[in-house]
């Protein structure tokens, strides 16, 4: 596999959740991730979702930088998602969101 994205509608909150985004090393920094994320945003618009959300780990600075560059912003974090020692392990869950109404303004 070279790249993939998986999204899931979250009906109760009217958001689209990116549950998986993976790009092989050789395809990184070539626009593949951006194309996949653009497709997720298109799906969200077509389904009239209010936001696209996702999560990653605080130690995954490359992913965080990519998501911020794609217009996502910090919407929260969870200090005990992976273990009771997430802060000590420096692996805090970071939640990011892209708000479609704001993007259209």
* 32 three-class SS: helix
End-to-end Cα separation, the chain, in angstroms: 37
The percent of residues in the chain predicted with pLDDT above 90, rounded, is: 89
- Strands 51-57 and 93-99, sheet pairing: antiparallel
pLDDT of residue 101: 80
Comparing 6-10, 38-42, 83-87, 91-95, the range with the smallest average pLDDT is 83-87
Q: What gap in Å lies between CA 4 and CA 93, rounded to an integer?
A: 21
pLDDT of residue 105: 53
Whether residue 92 is predicted with pLDDT greater than 90 in this model: the reply is yes
In the chain, the number of structural domains is 1
The continuous run of DSSP H or E covering 105 comes out as none
Q: What is the CATH number of the domain that holds 98?
A: 3.40.630.30
**Residue 25: DSSP 8-state:** G
pLDDT, tens digit (0-9, with 9 covering 90-100), for 54-84: 999 999 999 999 999 999 999 999 999 998 9
Is pLDDT larger for residue 1 or for residue 27? Answer: 27
Q: What gap in Å lies between CA 57 and CA 11, rounded to an integer?
A: 25
pTM above 0.85, yes or no: yes
User: Which domain, by its residues, includes 17?
Assistant: 3-104
């Amino acid at each position: 596999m070279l790249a993939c994205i998986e999204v899931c509608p979250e009906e109760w909150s009217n958001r689209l959740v990116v549950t998986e985004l993976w790009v092989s090393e050789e395809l990184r920094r070539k626009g593949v991730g951006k194309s996949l994320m653009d497709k997720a945003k298109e799906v969200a618009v077509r389904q009239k979702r209010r936001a696209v959300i996702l999560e990653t780990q605080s130690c995954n600075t490359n992913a965080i930088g990519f998501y911020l560059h794609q217009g996502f912003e910090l919407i929260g974090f969870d200090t005990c998602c992976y273990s009771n020692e997430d802060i000590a392990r420096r692996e805090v869950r970071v939640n990011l969101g892209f708000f479609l109404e704001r993007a259209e303004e």
